[in-house]
Amino acid sequence: MIDLGCIWDIFRKPKEQGTDFFYQQFQKGQFLVDAGIARRQTAAEYLKELERIGILKPHKIGKETARQKVERSFSTMSKGIGKTTGGHTSPFERIKRTNDAGMEFWSSREFAGVLGYGDYRNFEGVIEKAKLSCFNSGYRIEDHFVDVTEMVAIGSGAERPVKTILLSRYACYLAIQNADPKKEIVAHGQTYFAIQTRRQELADGRIEDERRVLLREEMRRHNVQLANAAKGAGVIEPIDYAIFQNHGYMGLYGGMKQDDIHQRKGLKKSQKILDYMGSTELAANLFRATQAEEKLRRDEVKGKDAANRTHREVGAKVRQTIRELGGTMPEELPALESIKKIETRQRKRLGKAETPEKKKS
């Protein structure tokens, strides 16, 4: 039985790691063999399976037959992956549940039944292996495997309690990688959850992009208001305002100045720190900016030194809150893709590719 999880792992490897199989327009089994991914027979099976689920299509090149990539988005593929080859709804789709918040989950007992485990006790070992995989991947087990007690009918209208586990989509993906590979339904399940997991990753990525754009715009607006409040306190000259901003960063980033943050995150001097922050880091800086502005005005702070001290104290308070909540310190968060690139993509999607007005930080 073909392990679609292996195929999926190849999909997820970035090109710079050396696996460029899926970056080529045409694929042959020999490419997989040369890359050390699979032996010849297994490689042929992989390609057949990728052709079956619509990622590749046969293409004649001279006397040889290769397989050409089908230009389809993952959202398009995921719509078809919920169907079996007979056009019927996938059994995994049928047993999927949704809570009031719109989150999808599966019952481990129903999941075991679909996979052909007549005795649930035989499936418990699969779950334990999946939990270990979850832990080794750096995720919290309790976020993906939730122990509950459900009532099941035993005849004559009677019910009895049984213990089951509510599985997230990721938990199902891990479970099916550890299920009996001799079962045909397991291959279908690997395909289903691999595509659905990738679909959710893409959706989550779009949500994060939108959050970053919105928060960055808020930072632009509130930085103007903060500058006005600082000016009222006596921070007039540009060099003085740069020092004032540095004090805010020093409070929030544990003593690090803007240059230190640039170096820590691998950014060039010409690159604005805020443009490369994720939503979590932007939110922390937005809180710093709004609270510093409010405190400067409320306390009627006067003098450059007093304004600098106030800004640093506010930044330190935000840092303390992050620590108390068990969050990641901002200097430990990675630099991400420039928000300007995200904004460009959004304008193109909206058909508004004209050059926007230059925005100030």
Report, as an integer, the average pLDDT of 95-102.
86
Give the model's confidence band at 299: pLDDT under 50 very low, under 70 low, under 90 confident, else very high: very high
CATH architecture assignment, domain 1-71: Orthogonal Bundle (1.10)
> What is the mean pLDDT of the segment spanning 288-305?
96
Read off the amino acid at residue 199: R
Percent of the chain with pLDDT over 70: 70
pLDDT value at position 156? Answer: 77
Q: What's the average model confidence in pLDDT over 93-106?
A: 87
Q: Which residues contact 253 (CB under 8 A, 6 or more apart)?
A: 260, 261, 315, 319, 329, 330, 331
Residue 9's pLDDT is what? 45
Q: Domain locations in the chain?
A: 1-71, 209-349
263-289 as b/e: b if 16+ CB within 10 A: eebebeeeebbbbbbbbbbbbbbbbbb
CA–CA distance, 339 with 345 (Å, rounded to integer): 10
Residue 110 pLDDT more than 80? yes
H or E segment to which residue 169 belongs: helix 169-177
Q: Can you tell me whether residue 300 is helix, strand or coil?
A: coil
Q: Which residue has the higher pLDDT, 149 or 205?
A: 149
Residue 37 has pLDDT above 80, yes or no: no
Residue 340's pLDDT band (boundaries 50, 70, 90)? very high
Would you say the pTM of this structure is higher than 0.85? no
pLDDT of residue 66: 52
More confident residue, 86 or 332: 332
Tokens linked to 340: 């300007």
Least confident of 28-37, 65-74, 116-125, 176-185: 65-74
Question: Could you tell me if 296 and 302 are in contact, meaning their C-beta atoms sit under 8 angstroms apart?
Answer: no
Residue 352 has pLDDT above 90, yes or no: no
pLDDT score at 192:
78
Cα(229)–Cα(233) distance, rounded to whole angstroms?
A: 6
List pLDDT tens digits, range 265-287. Answer: 999 988 999 999 999 999 999 99
* pLDDT tens, position by position, 49-71: 666 655 566 655 555 555 444 44
- Check residue 41 and give its pLDDT: 66
Q: What is the mean pLDDT of the chain?
A: 79
Q: Which has more pLDDT, 26 or 288?
A: 288
- Residue among 159, 169, 165 nearest 147 (CA): 165
